[in-house]
Every structure is written in structure tokens, then in C-alpha cells.
Structure 1
Amino acid sequence: MVSPSSGIVSSLPDFPNELLHRSERAPTYISSPSVPAELVDPTVIAQVRRPQSRLPRSVQRLLGPVLLLAGWQLLSTLEIFDQRTTPAPWTVIHTAWTLLASGELQTHLWASLQRVLAGLALGLGIGLTGAIASGLSRAGENIVDANMEILRAVPNFALLPVLIAWFGIGEDSKIILISLGVLVAIYINTYSAIRNVDASLIEAATTFGVKRRELITTVILPGALPGFLVGLRIALTSAWLALIFAETINAPLGLGRMMSDAREYFRIDIIFVLLASYAILGLLSLSLVRYLESRLLQWRRVFDGQ
């Protein structure tokens, strides 16, 4: 045993006094009463930090087409473009005004819109049904997926002679041709989106006792919604492309019919009017999908550029 009078014990500091002196030298912190912290939406912070422009976003997106038209008009004014093959924008606008004043353009446009809407409705119904059946069950995948992949590999326009042989040269073959491009785009993107839903979300919902029906409606389908909207964007583009070929099947009215007549009579100005009409219809379709995304995907945070 070591005696208290030994050097080891005497060399140790006086611990209570030493701790007292250290506590006096240490900084003191005044504890404030507990105040509940307010949750801050990160998207609001991003919007505050982002410089706001005076022009709406929809107007800013028109910058590219406006620059394209300005360059086109400049090259036409400098006579770099031949007016016989590439008319100036003002010539195209004048031709469009003439067609609108006579009512000819509206008549053909309405006929084309009816075909696109019918084909879009048919393709959406079949594509969504097949995607949900394949995405939610392996039995549905075994039956549907291979057929859809085959249909995807075969160009839709190659089926045109078969459709004419089966359904004739009436409206049915035109609508089915449009719907084929729509249903493939809807099926591929929606099926892929369903299968790419985060498995941890499904496991967490199952752990909390969520039933299968509620799991599908509250977890799987909302998680696949972004992929469906991407497919809808591609489907609208495919519908307008298929319309041109569909209206070559003995169509009395339609933009494709106008295109065929203008090509036959070498009316390049009318062809440019129809090209502009397809472009405007495509932009309107894209705006519709963007509006749906802004309304249906408010819960999703994504990178929106800087």
C-alpha cells in the first residue's frame, strides 16, 4: 500500500479545486427555452435563391423558334434561299391566312384532330391495361410483354398493307394505325416505370400492413406516374407522325390529304404551312403534358436547370 505521505500522492493536484478553476475559465452557455423548429420547404428556398425573370417560362421557351424564324427570314431576304423551293416566312404566313380565310385549313385540321383523338384514346386504353397487367404480375408479363416487344420491333407503317386488307380503306384502318404507335409508347414507358418503383417503399408499406389494393393505388401507380407522362409525350408525337401516313389511305379530308395534294401540284408554300401546323400541334401537345406534370407531380423534386 502507498502511504498518504508518499511523493506520488503529494504530486497529484487538488482535484476539486482544479475542476472549480477550470469551470470558472470555461465559457458559459445560456440555454434558451425550447422553441419548436419550423419545417422549411426546400423547393421554396430554391425558388427564392433563383433569380426571377420578368417573362413567363412559357414565353421564354419560344426563344428558340423565334430565333429560327429570324434566321430563316434573314437568309430569304439575302436571297440565299431560293423562293421556289424555300419560301420566305411572310409568304408562308400569307398562304396560311388565305387558307384560314377560305375555311379550308380548319376543315382538314378538324378531320385530322378527330382521327388523332380516336387513335389516342384507343392506344391509351390498350397500352395502360397491358402495362399494368405486365407490371403488377408475372403471369401478365408472360402473356403481354413478348407480344408488345414484337410489336415494338415491327415498324407500324409496315403494317399498313395488312391493316388495309383487314379493315379496308375506311376510318378504322387509319385510327388503328395511329393507336399502334400510341400504345407501344405508353406500354414501354409505363411498364418500365412500374418495375422501377423503389422496392424499399413497397417493403415499408407491407411492413405497416398495407393491403395489396392500397399498395397499388398509393405506392406503385403514383411512383410510376412520371414514366407514364414520359410515355404520353412520346405517344403524342407518334400519333401526329402516324397521322401523315394514315391519311394517305384514301382520306377525303385531313392534313395528310392536303400534303399529298400540295406535293402533287408543287405548292411548296402550302407544304410549309402544313409543316408549321404540325409543329404548332406538337408544341400544344407538349404544353399539355407539361401542364399535367406540373399538376400531378407537385410532390416530386427534380433538377430544373440553373
Structure 2
Amino acid sequence: MTFPTAQQTDSVASEPRARRPWFRNPLLGLVLPLGIAALWELAVYLGFSDGRLVPPPSVIAVTLWELAKTGELWRHAQATILRVVAGFGLGVAAGTLFGAIAGYSALTRTVIDPTLQALRAIPSIAWVPLFILWLGIFEASKVTLIAVGVFFPVYLGVMGAILSVDRKIVEVGRAFRLSGPALVRRILLPAVMPAYVVSLRSGLGLGWMFVVAAEFMGASEGLGYLLIDGQQLGKPAQIVAAIIVFAILGKTTDWLLTAGTAPFLRWEDRFHARQEA
């Protein structure tokens, strides 16, 4: 009986990477939105719709170009991005801290979790008048509202991840006489990281949703302001253009978050990770 050499083993192991299926191409994600845009453009061109309330992509592209040419697009996008970044940072910090404490301590979880679950059910728009009363109509109230939206998915994700850690792997760590910090670093953190990343992505998505409500608080700049301005002045192309920019920025930041956390998940031996390799 002959056994494969190391070189043969390496070539076999690398074979799936060379034969990566065509449908794994990330650019395929553009097929659906571009296809819908092309169909709508064609429908307006053929006269099936006048394109007044829902403008065709050509009109939206012109609107985006005009906003970019005057510098308004970047000014409004920058204001929104800064608010989301600040609110996301605060929400993640608070959600991670409270989630870790509640997941680790049964007493703390019993005391604070019912209240937080009740607060989680409050609609985002209901916080607006209260934050305006407390913090005014400037940036503090807007960032706080975004942080509230980010807080709850991160809190639930961290607490749930800690509670779902397999007891057996903790016992293995104790059997190897790991100290408390070493147990957290080598056992608990890797175990909760996948769920934590998912909760971060959920929180980021809600952050982009809450920023619209935040910019309804008398904002003079931001993509939410473009939405209000377009609605008041009857500019549907501007409204759709702002929505498209929201979608692009949301997807871009989600990709950056996923790429930034990927090195912390390299230890995972997942079936889908092997398929995508």
C-alpha cells in the first residue's frame, strides 16, 4: 500500500480553492438590484409608467450627480456617517458591558434583564421627544438615539452567547488548570465571538435605521435631512437617491465590519467556510 506524499496532499487540499464555483462571485449580488433598475428604466421608456412618483434610474443618477457636484452629497453623507459611528461606538460599548455582566451573573441578569427587555419594546420614534427634552436638538440627542438602537441587539447577542457556551469546554479549561483570565481569553472569548459578530452586524443595521429617526430631530444636514427636504419640496428623485446612498453606506460598513472581524474567526472549522474557500 502506498501513501500520498506531502506534495500530493497539498495539491489535493488546494484543489477546492482552484475549482471555486462561479456562483461564489461576490459581484453576483449586483445582478438583482441592477436587473430591477434596468426593468424599471425600460418600463418608463416604453410608457408603462410616467416615472413621476418613482423616478427611473437615469433621473436618480442625474440627481446624485448634481448633489455630488455641488458638494451637498458628501456633506450630508459625512454628517450621517459621523453620527452612526459615534452612536455605534457608544451602543457597542454599553451593550457589550451589560451583556457580559448579565450573561456571567445570574443575579445581575435577574435584576436588569426584565427592565431592559421592556425598554427594548419601545419604538425608536417614542424616544425622540424625550431625548429632545433632555439633550436638546443638537448632536447629543441624535447620537444617543442611535446608541439606543445599537445597544439592544449587542446586549442580547453577548448575553445569549455567554449563556450558550458549552459547559464541557469550560470544564476542559479547568482540567488544564487555566487561570480565570486565561479561561476567558482561551475558552470564553473564542466561544462567544461568532455570535458577538452577528450581534454587531445587527446593531450596525439598526444604527443606520435609527439615524433616520435621529435626523428628524431638526437636523440641518444629513441624509435624513435630504429625505425630509425631498418630501417637503416634492422631489421623489432626491428621496430615492438618499435611500440608495443609505443602502450603499449600510452595505459598505457591514462589509468593513465583517472583514475587520474575520481574523478573529479563523479558528472556526465551518462547513460553509470550506465551501467558500
1:182 correspondence with 2:139: no
Q: Determine the structure 1 residue equivalent to 2:242.
A: 274
| Change beyond 3 A, Cα 1:35–1:68 | closer
| Number of residue equivalences | 272
1:170 correspondence with 2:168: no
SS of the residue 1:62 aligns to: helix
Structure 2: gaps of 5 or more residues: none
Structure 1: gaps of 5 or more residues: 1-30
Q: Determine the structure 2 residue equivalent to 1:3.
A: none
Superposed CA RMSD in Å reads 2.6
8 A Cα contact 1:134 1:140, kept in partner: yes
Matched residues in 2 for 1:242 and 1:105: separation?
A: 20
Matched residues in 1 for 2:100 and 2:157: separation?
A: 11
- State the one-letter code of the partner of 1:267: K
Q: Determine the structure 2 residue equivalent to 1:287.
A: 255
Q: Determine the structure 1 residue equivalent to 2:97.
A: 129
| Change beyond 3 A, Cα 1:201–1:76 | same
Q: TM-score under structure 2 normalisation? A: 0.89
What pairs with 1:8-19 in structure 2 (closer than 5 Å)? none
Q: Determine the structure 1 residue equivalent to 2:175.
A: 207
8 A Cα contact 2:77 2:222, kept in partner: yes
8 A Cα contact 2:124 2:213, kept in partner: no
**What is the CA-CA distance between 1:70 and the residue it aligns to?**
2.1
What pairs with 1:191-206 in structure 2 (closer than 5 Å)? 191-206=159-174
Structure whose residues are more often helix by fraction: 2
Q: Determine the structure 1 residue equivalent to 2:85.
A: 117
Matched residues in 2 for 1:60 and 1:295: separation?
A: 25
Pick from 46, 58, 64 the counterpart of residue 90 of structure 1. Answer: 58
Q: Determine the structure 2 residue equivalent to 1:256.
A: 224
**What is the CA-CA distance between 1:78 and the residue it aligns to?**
2.4
Matched residues in 1 for 2:92 and 2:13: separation?
A: 35
**What is the CA-CA distance between 1:289 and the residue it aligns to?**
2.9
SS of the residue 1:61 aligns to: helix
Matched residues in 1 for 2:132 and 2:262: separation?
A: 41
Q: Determine the structure 2 residue equivalent to 1:47.
A: 16
Name the % identity. Answer: 29
Pick from 102, 106, 109 the counterpart of residue 74 of structure 2. Answer: 106
Matched residues in 2 for 1:36 and 1:303: separation?
A: 26
1:76-119 CA-partner distances (Å, limit 9, x unpaired): 22222332111110110011001100001111111111111111
**What is the CA-CA distance between 1:66 and the residue it aligns to?**
2.1
Matched residues in 2 for 1:101 and 1:73: separation?
A: 24
1:13-52 CA-partner distances (Å, limit 9, x unpaired): xxxxxxxxxxxxxxxxxx88x99999x79x9468358544
Matched residues in 1 for 2:19 and 2:4: separation?
A: 30
- State the one-letter code of the partner of 1:205: G
Q: Determine the structure 2 residue equivalent to 1:19.
A: none
Matched residues in 1 for 2:169 and 2:5: separation?
A: 29
- State the one-letter code of the partner of 1:275: I
Q: Determine the structure 1 residue equivalent to 2:194.
A: 226
Q: Greater relative contact order (Cα 8 A, min sep 6): structure 1 or 2?
A: 2
Matched residues in 1 for 2:179 and 2:142: separation?
A: 43
Q: Determine the structure 1 residue equivalent to 2:116.
A: 148
8 A Cα contact 1:189 1:228, kept in partner: yes
Q: TM-score under structure 1 normalisation? A: 0.81
| Change beyond 3 A, Cα 1:286–1:303 | farther
**What is the CA-CA distance between 1:139 and the residue it aligns to?**
3.1
Rg larger in structure: 1
8 A Cα contact 1:115 1:175, kept in partner: yes
**What is the CA-CA distance between 1:75 and the residue it aligns to?**
2.1
- State the one-letter code of the partner of 2:218: N
Matched residues in 1 for 2:4 and 2:24: separation?
A: 40
**What is the CA-CA distance between 1:294 and the residue it aligns to?**
3.1
Matched residues in 2 for 1:125 and 1:144: separation?
A: 17
> Which stretch of structure 1 is more off in the superposition, 159-168 or 262-271?
159-168
Matched residues in 1 for 2:237 and 2:158: separation?
A: 40
8 A Cα contact 2:37 2:56, kept in partner: no
1:160 correspondence with 2:91: no
8 A Cα contact 1:151 1:184, kept in partner: no
